[in-house]
Structure 1
Amino acid sequence: MSSPASRPAPRRRQGRPPVVADARERILLEASKLFAQSGYESSSIGELAAAIGVSKPAIYHYFATKQDIYDAIILQALQGLTDAVVPAVDAQPAPLDKLRVFMTAHAAYLEHNYWSFVAMLVGFSGMSPSYRDDASRLRDAYERLLRQILEQGAREGVFRPGQIVTSGRAVLSLLNWMARWFKPGHGSTAEQIALDYFELLSAGLCVRPAATS
């Protein structure tokens, strides 16, 4: 009969991976950086785990697949953008002020959530079908808000009528394209750049008083 000292130590029962503080948010933040810098296809769960300082099973404890992480980033970015811009716009009664605040709040969100915003713009078309409908609803509601601002301005005689669709595309193109070249912490803030854009656009959008002879 073997002595207690010679018996093999009992195997430790494997439990869940260690819990990371604010794990889900940290995973999404680091994944946003990774996907935005390296691209979705070139990024791996192993690289993501290394960036956070955890094991791959710790990542899979919160997200089943890499695609699930990307879908969550896009949905969070769209919802966050909506939550930041809509109350700011609603607080302004005049359409010109609504447009100004729409643009500056959009740009401020881009700057403060730079990596997730870039990842969202790049990855929207690659979302899984199960989440794409939710993302499309958020995007469409956001674009509808901008159209409503422009339509209000046209009704009140502030903006030129008949240019709602083109003007809306111009506004969003200017704002979203900033993500291609803007770098937080370098030069002007995104909000200041958006204000400059607003002044350029409003000069062309606003109805000019008739010339007097």
Structure 2
Amino acid sequence: MEGAYQWSAIEKAGAASPGPVMPTSAAPASKRARAGRPPTMAAPRERILAEAAKLFARSGYDGSSVSDLAAAIGVSKAAIYHYFTTKQDIYDAIILAVLNGLTQSVGQDVARAEGAADRLRAFMVGHARYFEQHHAEFVTMLIGYSGMALPEREDAARLRDGYEKRLREVIAQGVADGAFRALDVPATGRAVLSMLNWMVRWYKPGQGDSAETIAAGYFDLLVGGLRA
């Protein structure tokens, strides 16, 4: 189940971290480009990250280049380097954006729910909704994983750990309230995330049921075994 393993591998990313696209000697040129006049592009950083995620999801990190990205957007490589010094920077920004957005979106869904079962359902459905809305970014994070640079790796691990902790709190509160039977909370949390993250392997947006519907089905299947 590589997708689930990639999620947990964020903290170990440094060992496999790819080198920068540009040689060290090219860094001053990149800095000069960033200091110059910005290229004409609507929401440039967001556009670059969105197109890069599609590229990484399709071809993988190592199979993608800044030249490919520039061609996909229709700009020069210099335009990309105005906002991001290396391909690694782009990759790291995608992962951090996914984890930040996921944490905020799902946190809001859980906060609006009442009762342990409803909160767990809100977590699972909210996770699936965000996944579907940011499919390429999730594929990049869970399948196209290629390692992050410090300190971004530490930031990603912190966000991931906080997200997992929130899920465990939802489950543990359900046990404490008597809504769920006594169970191994960490193991149950890992099972929930494995179910959800495995969708990245086979789910195609726009084909068949929505990711939310699938997650709701997972919840119904799971909660039958959790109820006290």
Q: CA deviation at 1:125?
A: 6.0
SS state at 1:182 partner:
coil
The alpha-carbon distance between structure 1 residues 75 and 24, as it changes in their structure 2 partners (threshold 3 A), is same
Note the C-alpha offset of 1:42. 1.0
Kindly indicate whether structure 1 or structure 2 has the higher relative contact order, using CA contacts under 8 Å at least 6 residues apart: 2
Q: Normalising by structure 1, what TM-score?
A: 0.88
* The structure with more radius of gyration: 1
Aligned to 1:189: 210
Q: Write the letter of the residue equivalent to 2:48.
A: I
In structure 1, the partner of 2:159 is 138
Show structure 1 runs of 5+ residues with no match: 1-13, 208-213
Q: Is it true that 1:179 corresponds to 2:196 in the alignment? A: no
Q: Retained in 2: the 8 A contact 1:74–1:123?
A: no
Corresponding residue of 2:112: 91
Percent of matched pairs sharing the same residue = 58
Instruction: Specify the code of the residue in structure 2 equivalent to 1:40.
Output: Y
Partner of 1:108: 129
Runs of 4+ in 1 over 2 A off after TM superposition: 14-19, 122-125
Q: Which amino acid aligns with 2:203?
A: F
Paired with 2:80 and 2:184, the residues of 1 have a C-alpha distance of: 47
User: Are 1:63 and 2:84 matched, yes or no?
Assistant: yes
Root-mean-square deviation (Å): 1.4
Please, which runs of 5 or more residues in structure 2 have no aligned partner? Answer: 1-32
Q: Which residue of 1 aligns with 2:50?
A: 29
1:82 aligns with 2:103: yes
Higher helix fraction (1 or 2): 2
Task: Count the aligned residue pairs.
Answer: 194
Mapped contact 1:17–1:57 kept (Cα < 8 A) = no
The CA deviation at 1:162 is 2.9
TM, length-normalised to structure 2: 0.82
Deviation at 1:183, TM superposition (A): 0.5
